[in-house]
Amino acid sequence: MSEASSGPKREPPGWSRSLPPGILRAGDRLVRHTILLQRCFDGTQMRWSDALVARMRRHAGGCISAAEMALRLEIERQDTRIGQYVAALPEACCWNLIERHPPLIDPVLLAHFRDRAALSLMRQESSFSDPEAVAGREDKALFPPTVIETLTTITLAQSGWADGGPDHVPMRLDIPAEVMAELVWTACSIIADALIRTSGLPKAEVLETVQAAGWAVLGRHDEQTGPFAMSALFAHQLRVIGPTEQQLLHLAREGHVLPLLAILGDRIGIELLDLVRAVVEDAEPALFTLCRAADMPREVAVRLVLGRRSVARGVDDSMLVQYADEYDLKAPDAARESVAELAMPQPLRDKLSLLHDWMTDEC
Amino acid sequence: MNADPVAGDIRVVRLDASGRILSADEAILRLQRAAGGTPDGRIAVPQIAAVAHLARRLGILIARPLLVGGAERDIRLWVRARPTDEGMELHFSEWQESFPTESGDNAALRAADVALSAEGADWRTDGQMRFLQTGAGFDFGAPGDEFFSNLADAGVGQPLTSAIAGRRPFFSLPALAKGQGRVIELSGHPLFDVDGSFLGYRGKAKPVDEHTADVREAIPEGKTVMAAPDIPALPDLGKRLDLALRQPLGRIIANAETISGQMEGPLRADYADYAADIADAGRHLMELVDDLADLQAIDRPGFKVASEDIDLADLARRAAGLLSMRAADRHIRVDAPATDEAMPAVGEFRRALQIIVNLLSNAIRYSPEQSIVWMRVDGDESKATLVVADQGHGIAIEDHERVFDKFERLGRDDVAGSGLGLYISRRLARAMKGDLTVESAPGQGARFVLSLPREATRV
């Protein structure tokens, strides 16, 4: 028996938590089985929806293919000789290889695509019945012009997230800087490896050109064009006027999920990326607690939780009603205390969690 | 919460490949100076430095919100850091200033609890528990460090971690300074802004052994000591007043400045003047509160200062930087020691700077416009001196000692000054085994001489 199955308590690899089984066509049987078990019988009431798995794969494939396209163009621009070999590589070679070898994609990267996919589904869920609402005529009356401009930019940028094309067709690379760096170097490594194998060119020459192309692509990236940074800016701008209950309700009703979460994170001091992860992964009571900690109106909390149902099937309606009824009874101070850990640095949270698990095991 | 004067504008800083400032707007240089940096040095504001570092490391543009914490107010802004061929270009916009507020009805009392350890070193963190500021004598972390990377619970049941996780105030909790392997005593209270957003902690730290030594000194031989009840004693009235007044005054001053500067739209000139008067009066009251707090501390039996290696020339340059705007307003040139000049001495960094700022502030206040204030350092084997000389009206010889008396203002009736600054400065200088004297005559300006022991004569 392999080491991976050496004990019943052994955790599956970290990257498997957010890995869609659909991309494991030729993957390791044991890993595939572990992921399926994790996905279907994870011991909680959470289940990732098929829509989320499909959308996540679309985002991963689309962004990786976009990075590949940018790198191909840059390599051709920098060195026409190597460019000829790049042009001869099969289309979407990066995504194709990742589909065959999923561990190539970093867990942080895949988790980010899952979060993007979840946000786009939550937004879609809210605005499905009224597409005109996205343009938001009321936005103009409720918010100052500078804030409206930011909100419009976020809305337009996020509209591309609902793209339902084939997985390997490029999507707009509107991702945070750290994610972009990981993505570009992943694509660089695949292209460089393919060139070294197929071109017969000196390895050092290939690596130098690919690396230069990677830096050039990164140098042109502007994370502020992405909805995450724009939403953080939106919350920052709105902080000056202090968002009213009417504005918060409007954002929730119009499906401005990410801007709303940015305000929530700003209020309770949690980084937006961490908060989005919590909203996607945590159970419903935790979502209500987050909203309560940020002193959000009850309706905002309920809409957020209902929107999340397109991402993961949760508790029954009767339980949701109970949670919602208890919302106003929970003191904001107590809620803040409950979610304070999320504001701590990630390494500290990881270590605390590890220690907690060890101590529990010892007991 | 107020919009900063530069809200909406874009302020730019350019760095060279080694991270040194090539050019910067004045608003950013003010932050740089407040963080102890120089206009052509590396970025000293830890939050800005961290973004620049990330952008340089990844070779990618970073666009993020930033919280830059200060002693009295926080600045939130939006930064775009773009690596360039020369080094780095940082654009700052969307400036907002906010004032930390206490949560809960009993906020002043909770803050007062923290002040029980008033002699400790100051520290301040952001909402992610990274140090924003560390005062003189705080050797347990530097701005930018993570709180829990440097400090850990030393008490049973992790009371410190649990208090911070719950964003509750804590008082005199033992903590292990990891780098030094010793236990210190920490107090802190959480800060929230007007929206209730958690802004981090502000607190005090002191070594446990120093504290216990103080206690031992206070107990006469042969006396038995009753076990103290497990309730923190309340600080005295002066300290409570200090804590209760400082924040409201800060808000009054900032709001009055916003109105007088007509930053949120034009205003009738006389109304703007009234607001300027309110801001002036507020600043005067704030100085008085500062002075009263200091007075109370230094008049307390057993008052001690730390013994550190300091550089009087460096302190003089820092003081000149801090007061450069005030001097420029009055068209006064401050001639500080050259950047390559040094004058080592022994004293407490923060207290020595306080004295020099007081001397320079007086010199600027009482000098005629278009004049010069000189700051010169000198020394011999046993002592280092700093002279602050102005071209003001001077002080009569019979008043040379009186100026160091409490509340002595030599008959001046202008609104500025509390009459405590020189008294406090001399007490502080003497506590550091130095002295503060004046040489002057009417019509000849004044020369205040601060002397402190050289390294050979430890405090």
User: pLDDT by residue (tens digit) across B155-167?
Assistant: 666 778 777 776 6
DSSP letter for B101, please. Answer: B
Q: pLDDT: is B126 or A153 the higher one?
A: A153
How many other β-carbons are positioned within 10 Å of the β-carbon of residue B367?
Answer: 22
Cβ contacts of A239 on chain B, cutoff 8 Å: 1, 76, 96, 195
Q: How confident is the model at residue B345 (pLDDT cuts 50, 70, 90)?
A: very high
The confidence band for B70, taking pLDDT boundaries of 50, 70 and 90, is low
CA distance B354 to B136: 12
A333 and B CB contact within 8 Å:
yes
A222–B78 CB contact, under 8 Å = no
Q: Average pLDDT, stretch B64-88?
A: 83
Nearest-Cα residue of chain A relative to residue B148: A348
Pairing of strands B21-24, B121-125: unpaired
CA distance A83 to B227: 81
Q: How confident is the model at residue B400, as a pLDDT?
A: 80
- pLDDT category at B329 given cuts 50, 70, 90 is confident
Closest CA to A337 of B177, B365, B162: B162
Element (H, E) at B448: strand B446-453
Characterise B203 by phi-psi region: left (phi > 0), alpha (psi -120 to 50), beta (else). beta
Q: Report the C-alpha gap between B59 and B75 in whole angstroms.
A: 27
Cα distance between residue B354 and residue A146, in whole Å: 43
Mean pLDDT of B341-365: 88
Residues in chain A: 363
**Which residues of chain B have a CB within 8 Å of the CB of A222?**
61, 63
CB of A218 within 8 Å of a chain B CB? The answer is yes
How many angstroms separate the CA atoms of A120 and A320, rounded?
22
Which among B58, B84, B125, B170 is the top mutation candidate for probing chain A, defined by the most A β-carbons within 10 Å of its own β-carbon?
Answer: B58
Q: Confirm if A250 and A223 have CB atoms less than 8 A apart.
A: no
Strand partners, A120: none
Nearest neighbour of A337 by CB, restricted to B7, B83, B167: B167
Q: Which residue has the higher pLDDT, B94 or A5?
A: B94
Determine whether the interchain pair B61/A222 forms a contact, defined as Cβ–Cβ distance below 8 Å.
yes
pLDDT of B122 above 60? yes
pTM over 0.80: no
Specify the pLDDT at position B396. 81
Per-residue tokens: B275: 């607001």
Considering only residues B301 and B186, tell me which one the structure prediction assigns the higher pLDDT. B186
Q: What are phi and psi of B366, to 5 degrees?
A: -105, 10
Q: How many CA atoms lie within 13 A of B114 on its CB side?
A: 27
* B96/A239 CB distance under 8 A: yes
**Which of the four pLDDT bands, split at 50, 70 and 90, describes residue B111?**
very low
* Residues in chain A with pLDDT values less than 50: 1-27, 36-37, 40-43, 45, 128-135
B153 in Cβ contact with B210 (< 8 Å): no
- A304 neighbors A38 (Cβ within 8 angstroms): no
- Which residues are B372's β-sheet partners? B333
Q: State the number of CA atoms in the 13 A half-sphere of B238 facing the CB.
A: 14
Phi and psi of A268, rounded to 5°? Answer: -110, 10
**3-class DSSP state of A88:** helix
Interface test with A, best of B106, B128, B149, B193 (most A CBs within 10 A): B128
Give the count of Cβ contacts less than 8 A between chain A and B. Answer: 103
When CB atoms are compared, the residue of A236, A336, A348 closest to B76 is A236
Give the percent of chain B with pLDDT over 70.
74
How confident is the model at residue A71, as a pLDDT?
Answer: 97
DSSP codes, B415-430: SS--S-HHHHHHHHHH
* CA pseudo-torsion sign A156, A160, A164, A165: positive
Residue B439: which H helix or E strand, with range?
strand B435-440
CB-based contact B194:B188 (threshold 8 Å): no
* pLDDT category of residue B403 using cuts at 50, 70 and 90: confident
A97-116: pLDDT as tens digits: 998 888 888 888 888 998 99
Cβ within 8 Å of residue A347, ≥6 positions away: none
pLDDT higher for B456 or A210? A210
Strand (E) or helix (H) holding B357? helix B349-366
Whether the predicted pLDDT of B233 surpasses 50: no
Ranges A288-292, A329-333, B112-116, B146-150: which has the least confidence: B112-116
- Checking B75-83 for CB contacts under 8 A at 24+ apart, the result is B75/B4, B75/B31, B76/A236, B76/A239, B78/A233, B78/A236, B79/B48, B79/B51, B80/A224, B81/B51, B81/B52, B81/B54, B81/B55, B82/B55, B83/A219, B83/B55, B83/B56, B83/B59
Locate all alpha helices (DSSP H) within B22-142, ordered by sequence.
26-34, 46-58, 107-114
Is B58 in Cβ contact with A178 (below 8 Å)? Answer: yes
End-to-end CA distance of chain B: 44
Beta bridge partners, A19, equal: none
**Token pair in block for residue B389:** 């000389």
Can you name the residues that pair with B346 across neighbouring β-strands?
A: B309
- Give the three-class secondary structure for B440: strand
Rounded Cα distance between B316 and B322, Å, is 10
Put simply, the answer to whether A239 touches B1 (Cβ < 8 Å) is yes
Q: At what angle do helices A257-268 and A107-127 cross, to 10 degrees?
A: 120
- pLDDT given for residue B387 in this prediction: 94
Chain B residue set in contact with A, beta carbons under 8 Å: 1, 3, 7, 54-55, 58-65, 76, 78, 80, 83, 94, 96, 103, 127-130, 146, 148, 164-168, 194-199
Is B75 a residue whose pLDDT tops 70? yes
Q: What share of chain A is helix, strand, coil (3-state, %, to 5)?
A: 75, 0, 25
Give which of A146, A233, A264 to mutate to test B binding, by max B Cβ within 10 Å: A233
Q: Which residues of A74-112 are buried (b: 16+ CB within 10 A; e: fewer)?
A: bbbeebeebbebbeebeebbbbbbbbeebeebeeebbbb
Contacts of A271 in chain B (CB under 8 A): 128
- Are B165 and A344 within 8 A, CB to CB? yes
Range in B25-34, B35-44, B100-109 the model is least confident about? B100-109
Q: Is residue B259 classed exposed, middle or buried when 0-12, 13-18 and 19+ CB atoms within 10 A define those classes?
A: buried
**Of residues A67 and B288, more confidently modeled:** A67
Is the CB of residue A260 less than 8 Å from the CB of residue A252?
yes
Query: Looking at the DSSP assignment, which residues form a beta bridge with residue B153?
Result: B175
pLDDT at B430 over 80: yes
- Among candidate residues B7, B41, B8, the one with its CA nearest the CA of residue B24: B41
Q: Does any CB of chain B come closer than 8 Å to the CB of residue A223? A: yes
3-state secondary structure of B390: coil
**Residue B281 distance to chain A (closest CA, Å):** 27
pLDDT higher at B239 or B279: B279
A244: Cβ–Cβ under 8 A, 6 or more apart, which residues?
none
Query: Does residue B283 carry a pLDDT above 80?
Result: no
A-chain residues near B94 (CB < 8 A): 233, 236-237
CA distance B150 to A287: 32
- pLDDT for the residue B240: 58
